[in-house]
Amino acid sequence: MIRNLTDRRVLIVDDDRQVRRVLGEFFAVNGYKCHTAGNGQEGLATFDAERPPLTVTDVNMPVVGGLELLKQARALEPDAAILMLTGMADVETAVESLKQGAYDFIMKPVNMDEILIAAERALEHRQLLLERREYHALLERRVGEATRDLAATLRELEDTYRSTLEALGSAIDTRDLGTQAHSRRVRGYSLTIARAHGVPEAEVRDLEHGVLLHDIGKIGIPDAILLKRGPLTPAEWQIMRTHPAVGRNLVSKIPFLRGAVPVVYHHHERWDGSGYPLGLKGEAIPVGARIFAVADAFDAMTFDRPYSRAIDLDSARAEIQRSGGTHFDPGVVESFLRVPLEILAEIRRRSTE
């Protein structure tokens, strides 16, 4: 709290009893409440107990001198206003005391008007320091509050985005596969493989978005092709293969989702270059898309689909291991094989519920 200018207490420290008495009476007449002490040690004890806004101290005193008192008092109260009384021979000490944070020094013999003006100024100066400190503390509190509010809002926004993307992913699954959980399971596998593969956490969110939206381009594929029973004609395949590009065009327009583009656009590339849309090879394929390919294939093999029966998780893992270096990035396959089977089974169970 700011102590205001009505706090007019002064501590007078001088080993000369006469000086103490005269200064004490003078300050009292001018509306100050006075404490006095006869040396630096006594002065410090009184300062510590009373914390007066203003201290007037002699420099040369027995036991503890004025400079030491100044240092220790400022250590207790950084904003303490302190005036030094110095003899004519003590100019160096006076300068030193200013360096140590004294507000001013007054030459002895003391001119009473001079010391009163200095005292008022010292108190005003101290008041400004206190107000500035208070203002800074207030600003810091406000900034802290605003930052916390912002972080909470951001988290809410991200949750909302995620739910929206999940719903969209499920909608895509439903139209294509007649099941909603494919995207959710592939997301679970992809994130786990990504972490086993050492993908930086900052990139995992983009990967997640890409996985949920990977087939969004199928919105542009007619039902007659997408839902056709039996093999597609070459012309129909050509249309089917446009879905990564359609997806990229949709997703790249949304700044928040731009990081999902590599997975959306490249999720049908293969390690050996036999995939589409660009036929990229090896590490030219974005790592997110390489991870997705393994996760997607694992899910496709372990769930019944219109054109294939499910196989058990272990066999599916072996199948993926066999395709490392041809269909899949062998490094990603290695990371995938490091994920315990129970964890894969748990992801499958939770995402299907």
Closest approach, Cβ 169 to Fe ion, in A, equals 12
Q: What are phi and psi of 8, to 5 degrees?
A: -110, 70
Distances (CA, A) of 168 to 58, 176, 222: 80, 12, 18
- Determine the size of the site formed for Fe ion (CB under 5 A): 1
Q: How far is residue 287's CA from residue 273's CA, in Å, rounded to a whole number?
A: 14
Q: How far is residue 124's CA from residue 129's CA, in Å, rounded to a whole number?
A: 9
* Sheet architecture: strand order including 54-58: 33-37, 9-13, 54-58, 81-86, 104-107
Closest approach, Cβ 318 to Fe ion, in A, equals 24
- Choose the stretch contacting Fe ion; rule: CB under 5 A; options: 67-75, 195-203, 212-220, 307-315: 212-220
- Residue 329 engages Fe ion in binding (rule: CB under 5 A): no
Closest approach, Cβ 219 to Fe ion, in A, equals 12
Q: How far is residue 328's CA from residue 321's CA, in Å, rounded to a whole number?
A: 9
- Residue 215 engages Fe ion in binding (rule: CB under 5 A): yes
* For Fe ion, the closer CB: 215 or 269: 215
* For Fe ion, the closer CB: 129 or 219: 219
* For Fe ion, the closer CB: 32 or 189: 189
Closest approach, Cβ 238 to Fe ion, in A, equals 15
Report which residue's Cβ sits closest to Fe ion.
Answer: 215
Residue 218 is encoded by which pair of tokens?
Answer: 């199928």
* For Fe ion, the closer CB: 206 or 215: 215
DSSP letters along 5-60, please? TT--EEEEE-S-HHHHHHHHHHHHHTT-EEEEESSHHHHHHHHHHH--SEEEEESS
* For Fe ion, the closer CB: 86 or 302: 302
**Closest by Cα among 238, 252, 253, 291 to 269:** 291
Instruction: Output the CA torsion 181→187→192→195 (10° steps).
Output: -170
* For Fe ion, the closer CB: 20 or 268: 268
Site for Fe ion in 164-193 (CB under 5 A): none
SS3 for 122? helix
Closest approach, Cβ 247 to Fe ion, in A, equals 8
Closest approach, Cβ 217 to Fe ion, in A, equals 7
Q: How far is residue 269's CA from residue 227's CA, in Å, rounded to a whole number?
A: 23
Q: Are residues 259 and 210 in contact, defined by beta-carbon separation less than 8 angstroms?
A: yes
- Choose the stretch contacting Fe ion; rule: CB under 5 A; options: 2-10, 129-137, 168-176, 209-217: 209-217
Helices (H), the chain: 17-29, 40-50, 66-76, 91-99, 112-177, 182-196, 201-213, 223-226, 234-240, 243-251, 261-266, 287-302, 313-322, 330-338, 341-352
* For Fe ion, the closer CB: 73 or 216: 216
- Residue 296 engages Fe ion in binding (rule: CB under 5 A): no
Please name every residue paired with 82 in a beta bridge, in sequence order, or none if there are none. Answer: 55
* For Fe ion, the closer CB: 215 or 299: 215
Binding positions for Fe ion, rule: CB under 5 A: 215
